[in-house]
Structure formats: C-alpha cells, structure tokens
Amino acid sequence: MADATLRIDRPAKTLRTLALERMREAIMDFHFQPGERLVERPLCDQLGVSRSVVREVLRQLETEGLVQMIPGHGPAVAKPDLGRTDEIYELRALLEGIAAKACATSATDNQIALLDTALAKLLEAWASGVPAEVMRATARFYEVLFEAADKRIAWEIVTGLNVRINQLRSMTILSLNRRDAAIAEMHAIMDAIRSRKPEAAEAAARRHVETAWKIAREALRLGSL
C-alpha cells in the first residue's frame, strides 16, 4: 500500500519562487530600507530575471504587506504602520496566548521535547548576540509552539503581523535590558506547558508579548524611528 513517506516533494524550483524568497529575506533583513522605491527594471538586473517574474513577486509581496504600491509612483518597501502597533501587539498577545494554552493542553511529549530544543537554540542565539540569529531562532520557537498547538492558521496570522512590525522587533528583540527578562519569560511559558497548566501558559505567553510591547512603545516614544 502507498506509504506517504514515499512521496517526493518536488523542489520549488521556479525562478519566481526563488526570487520571492530572496526579496522577502532582503526586505526583512533591511537590505532595502523601509520606504525605498523598488523600481522594476533595476530589480530585474539585480535578481537576474525578467520583469514578468519581478512583477509577480512584487504582487505577492504586496498582498503579504511587505511592499506597498505608491499611486503614481510604483512599488516601495512598506513602511511600518506606527498607528497600528498597539493593535498588532494586542493581537499577538491574544494569539500566542491561545497557542500556549492549547500546547499545554494537548502537546505530545515529543513536541515538548522539540520545544525544548528550539528554546535551547534560542538561548544560544541570544548568547551570540547576532540579531538575525535571534530573530530566526525566535520565529522557529514559535513555529514549533503553534505547530504543537495545532494552530496553523494562527501561526500564519502571527507571521503576517510580525512582518508589519519587523522594524520595531529588530530594535527591541535583543535590547540588552530585555534579554534576561525575556529568557525568564520564555522559561515560564515552557514550565507551564511542561506541567500542563493551560491558564498559566496562556498568561505567561501574553506577559511575554506585553513586555515586548512595552519596550517597543518606549522605543517609539524615544522617537528613534
């Protein structure tokens, strides 16, 4: 009988896919500044592909919220909508909360082990102090968390939210005074999940987002953006 593990997933080899990933990374890593124009033809040269490809990628990034079309001019790297950061953090608190709760309720021991691994990697990244590493490890941890919570859609949403506050996050995610507190908060989440305390896990997850939110607000207030 057909074994699912036999299925080979064809490598996503189209130029479009590659270009999309490349551009997404480039924007998230600030190789383009927020607000910077993304003129199509120069992009073609840089990426080494045709305008068809570039335009399709641009459309996709646009609906993802990474790029915005400026009427009259063309596409540009989206600028974070500072007026909506409160809402975004509120939603993150909500979503990460229910994920942690569900995790505490129904994660398998195996999944909890995966979470431990992800957390360990995150600590390493924090120790290394490389921002990009920390971002990646954080994302990975939450990905595992949402996976274990069986909240795939919520994860997609959170990813989309994080895109919009990428700039803020990059500033706050490893602000030094945040690091120790953040580590403690993460451990609190894990402890609650491990001991199967849904309410505690939810509270801990929310608390973590809320402190991040506070730091972000501070950063905004200082006008460093």
Partner DNA sequence: CTCCATAGCATGGTATACCATAAGACGATA
Partner DNA sequence: TATCGTCTTATGGTATACCATGCTATGGAG
Q: Which amino acid is at 11?
A: P
Site string for a second copy, 10-49 (x = CB under 8 A): x---------------------------------------
CB of 151 to a second copy, least distance (A): 6
The C-alpha atoms of residue 206 and residue 185 are separated, in whole angstroms, by: 10
Q: How far is the CB of 94 from a second copy (least distance, A)?
A: 6
CB closer to DNA, 49 vs 139: 49
Angle between helices 131-148 and 85-106 (to 10 degrees): 50
Give the single-character DSSP code of 196.
Answer: T
For DNA, the closer of residues 15 and 161 by Cβ is 15
Q: Would you state the structure tokens that stand for residue 139, as one six-digit string?
A: 């994302």
In the chain, the DSSP E strands lie at 67-69, 75-77
Residue 183's contacts (CB-CB under 8 Å, 6 or more residues apart) are: 123, 126
Binding DNA by CB under 7 A: which of 26, 49, 139, 171? Answer: 49
Kind and range of the H or E element at 170? helix 166-172
Q: Which two tokens stand for residue 118?
A: 């992800």
Give the footprint of a second copy on residues 56-85 (CB under 8 A).
56, 59-60, 62-64, 71-72, 84
Enumerate binding residues for DNA (CB under 7 A): 14-16, 37-42, 49-53, 55, 69, 72-75
Enumerate binding residues for a second copy (CB under 8 A): 10, 52, 55-56, 59-60, 62-64, 71-72, 84, 87-88, 90-91, 94-95, 98, 150-154, 157, 160-161, 164
